[in-house]
Amino acid sequence: MNLKDSEIEKKVILLKLLVDKEKDIEAALASLADTKMASLDELQRLYKELQEDGFITKNGELTIVGLAEAKRAKEEFSIEN
């Protein structure tokens, strides 16, 4: 199964919001952009899509659906020894 880059990036954004304690959306997106995963503009566009799709509220909190998806992403991206 091949995921589109944007699907993976959306999962990473949700995961970042789950684990980021300070909840500063701009700082969270900027730190992801610093990893060269995607440009800040692209991450902001994906963030807005996640809001429109009901994963993130207008004030930047994960919705119940977003929280569930972020937890699935955490499991998916975790590495076990």
- pLDDT tens by residue, the chain, 81 residues: 345 668 999 999 999 999 987 678 999 999 999 999 899 999 999 999 999 999 999 999 999 999 999 999 999 888 765
Domains, the chain, ordered by start: 5-77 (1.10.10)
Name the DSSP class of 56: B
What pTM did the predictor assign? 0.85
Q: Residue 36: left (phi > 0), alpha (psi -120 to 50), or beta?
A: left
**5-23 residue pLDDT tens:** 689 999 999 999 999 876 7
